Chains A and B, each alone.
Chain A
């Protein structure tokens, strides 16, 4: 039955793809197309753009991504724990508090290190 349900999601996905492509197709068929040099230029408030747009970006973003992965995985761990919590008892609570405390310390460490400071 579960397999079936994911199949439905697959059908919905197909529908969604169709729905996303249909307007593009219609636009392609009916909309006018006129090209000129300045029309295809990058928009930047009416003036020409200077230099590169795709520049190297700072490591800060990478650190945020790392933190995100860390905490997202933590959250994923927490889900089964929360679902099954009713049957686990005090031990589960204490264990999870320890788990969270470790992560929290990690967050605090990052915080104090100034990693969370933007810009």
Chain B
């Protein structure tokens, strides 16, 4: 029997589309799908409006991330200002800065420890793809090699606006998510509900290099095949030059004896002097004669205005220089090493607190072969040599006999190479000097990425004989285990001591710094700083960069003071270039103005964050940042960038000041800054709790401060009036009247107060400079991209806000620096950290670290 067919009248199914739309807008028309869709809307709305970031900053971008939370940008508007210290409470990880191999396991673990659903914002060029540091040996070329990234933010660093935009993009992405509810037949894209999916990533291992456990078999196979060695054999290696020899003894024969590798053209030589202000040739030869008379002939040989000391006599000479010499060399300004063809030279820049400005350089030479060099450690004489010697050991493989704790400092124990040796080529090595062929069309016929030429496809280099693949284990902390502070036995009634690792991700370590603390209850009885989590190979990259190209990299050292960093680097190369690069007067004024503005901005930041560290939840910091923002506006106007100004050039500056700049700068300096500094002074300096928390904490006596080679406000707060602007005047600082501020107690409070007063002095200098700035050219000649730098070596010193920033540059007459070393004040100031913290409590450690005012970009370089 046929079933009767029901025919509907047409009007019942077809609704006028216009009417339908109208209805949907004003009447709640719903069906099952739409209802299910509304679940998504609610689900997404809650999460998009409450994205709490993990309080976690890696590098320069982190500064901009903090600025995003500051008054001008205020990420709080989006409900995202709740930066959580613990990953357990965070929703989004903002990877803000260069991801280094040393840091990668920590980032992976933190990511894993975040609860689902979790998101990753890759902030800035470095996090996205390695950025300017990509060819570094310790840099992961993009966080997406490991973590699933949701939003990429371009920029170096991205401005706060860009981060806000990134956040909005992430919100949009969340808006598009659909719940997976199989029970209701609803399909979506929320993988965290799918039980079969593994969302967390295995923590990579720091073996001979950073090893991703997901691809370890492939890596092992390729290593056994020796693919990387084969590739390296085809590349041009960087040249090695011979160490400078005594000129009077062998005047010329050295030249013909060596067949000129770089063509017959004689290399122009710079004037031999260790630094612009130094002891002088007469003084040096007198000193050399004295040394030879006292310790036997050949103790001191003058080579290029430095004293060559045989390694076995180093300690006696050093002790003599510190204790008996007419000028007491009690301050080890800098210590670095150069890899020459025939030796590794360790050299020491020494200065005196009693007669500052009489800098001398000692040279000690040792075997060139890898891991064979040995030099006696001078830690017993200048304790400030501690970290610097470890750095030389880490980078060059020179062992320092008698060093109390010779462990790797920037890389990790187990890293297979000594990366600053000339024969070490980075995994992404392409050539000795930029511009690399892969960056131009003609080179290989097409652009390619570094990953494509490295057989591993990632920034990895593993020695061919490495066999222990099976032993690689993420549960071993290769970087920190060797640096556990030792304890003492405790009696039965006392607290058992335990070890806390504070950092690398911690709200108050000012970046990815880590301290292994041994505590008795809350009292610190041992502290070992662990660093290198931000080591992004500045010096190695500096050897590939042409001189001019290196400017933007110096910006990223201490990313709060890019102008000051530029200044020091410009001075170092100008010292080599001599009169060719003498800046005209207007340029000198502009340089000083920028450097002093930088000092104000940096000290503002430092004071604000010191207060934050002792518990004043960001309020002083944000007020200080407001002033900093105004200064950054001036920088941006003049140079085009807020943070990474790249403004100085050899012999001047990049651009003249734009019209109106000076008026605005005068307005800020004359009418505003003084009042704001008074405001900080009024509210902070006398606050009971600030006094309680800062007075008598972290005391460093004048002798200790000198012995530890501390610099800048840290040194001056201990009562040593040592300011490079005065003791070794550079640029036109001798024209200005200003006082060198010094403290007396050397405690946290004095370091704070010295910074505050220094801002006043900077404003004083700024007022004079802004009043007197002349018209005129800003460069000695025409703007040029071809910089010819004569061979020689130079050590420049500038008084950066953090302390003495030194650049040691060895040029061989080629387009790049042969050796390029940065004496970073933040790094060396940390040497004194353990001394300052012992006996204090965990809360004080945070304050003491804040008072040192470190910036990790500069500590680890």
Contacts and interface: CB of A to CB of B under 8 A. Distances in A.
**Whether chain A touches chain B in the assembled complex (some CB pair under 8 Å):** yes
Given A44-B500, A45-B501, A47-B501, A36 B198 contact: yes
Interface string A51-64: 11101111110000
Given A38-B203, A51-B499, A32 B192 contact: yes
Interface in B110-158: 110, 112-113, 116-117
B232 to A, nearest CB: 33
29 contacts: A31-B116, A33-B116, A34-B192, A34-B200, A36-B112, A36-B198, A36-B200, A38-B200, A38-B202, A43-B87, A43-B88, A44-B500, A44-B501, A45-B106, A45-B505, A46-B505, A47-B501, A48-B109, A48-B475, A48-B477, A50-B484, A50-B499, A52-B498, A53-B498, A55-B496, A58-B494, A58-B495, A58-B521, A60-B521
Interface of B: 86-88, 106-110, 112-113, 116-117, 190, 192-193, 198-200, 202-203, 474-475, 477, 480-481, 484, 493-506, 514, 520-523, 841
Most chain A beta carbons < 10 A, residue from B109, B477, B494, B520 = B109
Given A44-B501, A50-B501, 16 more contacts: A31-B116, A32-B193, A34-B192, A38-B113, A38-B200, A39-B200, A45-B504, A46-B505, A47-B109, A48-B109, A51-B499, A57-B495, A58-B493, A58-B495, A58-B521, A119-B841
Interface string A1-44: 00000000000000000000000000000011110101101011
A46 B116 contact: no
B116 A119 contact: no
A41 B495 contact: no
Contacts of A46: 106-107, 109-110, 504-505
A75 interface: no
A39 B480 contact: no
A59 B512 CA distance: 36
Interface residues of A, number: 26
A11 to B, nearest CB: 32
A60 B117 CA distance: 44
Contacts of A36: 112, 198-200
A98 B675 CA distance: 56
A22 B481 CA distance: 44
Contact of B522 (A43, A56, A119): A119
Contacts of A48: 109, 475, 477
Contacts of A53: 498
Nearest to A59: B493
A103 to B, nearest CB: 26
Contacts of B475: 48
A73 B47 CA distance: 49
A44 B477 CA distance: 12
A91 B274 CA distance: 87
A34 B113 contact: no
A112 B535 CA distance: 51
Closest 5 CB pairs of A and B: A46-B106, A55-B496, A36-B200, A38-B112, A58-B495
A36 B474 CA distance: 13
Contact of B109 (A32, A34, A41, A56): A41
Nearest to A38: B112
Contacts of A47: 106, 109, 477, 480, 501, 504, 514
Contacts of B494: 58-59
Contacts of A119: 521-523, 841
Contacts of A41: 109, 112-113
Contacts of B108: 38
B495 A45 contact: no
Contacts of A59: 493-494
Nearest to A44: B501
Contact of A32 (B86, B88, B117, B522): B117
Nearest to B507: A45
A57 B490 CA distance: 11
A45 B841 contact: no
Interface in A84-107: none
Given A43-B88, A47-B106, A48-B475, A56 B495 contact: yes
A33 B200 CA distance: 12
A43 B496 contact: no
A43 B109 CA distance: 9
A45 B203 contact: no
A112 B176 CA distance: 67
A32 B193 CA distance: 5
Nearest to B533: A46
B117 to A, nearest CB: 7
A60 B522 CA distance: 12
B109 A38 contact: yes
A93 B499 CA distance: 53
Nearest to B85: A45
A119 B503 CA distance: 23
A36 to B, nearest CB: 4
A76 B106 CA distance: 51
Contacts of A31: 116
Contacts of B497: 55
Nearest to B203: A38
A43 B501 contact: no
Contacts of B200: 34, 36, 38-39
Given A46-B109, A50-B484, A119-B841, A55 B498 contact: yes
A71 B741 CA distance: 50
A31 B503 CA distance: 30
A31 B179 CA distance: 12
A34 B117 CA distance: 10
A55 to B, nearest CB: 4
A49 B499 CA distance: 8
A57 B521 CA distance: 7
A39 B90 CA distance: 13
A36 B192 CA distance: 13
A44 B516 CA distance: 11
A79 B639 CA distance: 71
B499 A43 contact: no
Contacts of B193: 32
Nearest to A47: B501
B841 to A, nearest CB: 6
Contacts of B112: 36, 38-39, 41
A45 B87 CA distance: 9
Nearest to B495: A58
A3 B200 CA distance: 55
A31 to B, nearest CB: 8
Contacts of B502: 45
Contacts of B474: 38
B81 to A, nearest CB: 22
A32 B190 CA distance: 10
A85 B804 CA distance: 70
Contacts of B521: 57-58, 60, 119
Contacts of B504: 45-47
B496 A56 contact: yes
Given A39-B200, A55-B498, A119-B522, A45 B503 contact: yes
Given A38-B108, A119-B522, A43 B113 contact: yes
A25 B531 CA distance: 43
A8 to B, nearest CB: 35
A13 B779 CA distance: 79
Nearest to A42: B113
A23 to B, nearest CB: 14
Residue with the greatest number of chain B CB neighbours at <10 A, chosen from A44, A45, A55: A45
Given A38-B203, A58-B521, A49 B501 contact: yes
A119 to B, nearest CB: 5
Contacts of B477: 47-48
A59 to B, nearest CB: 5
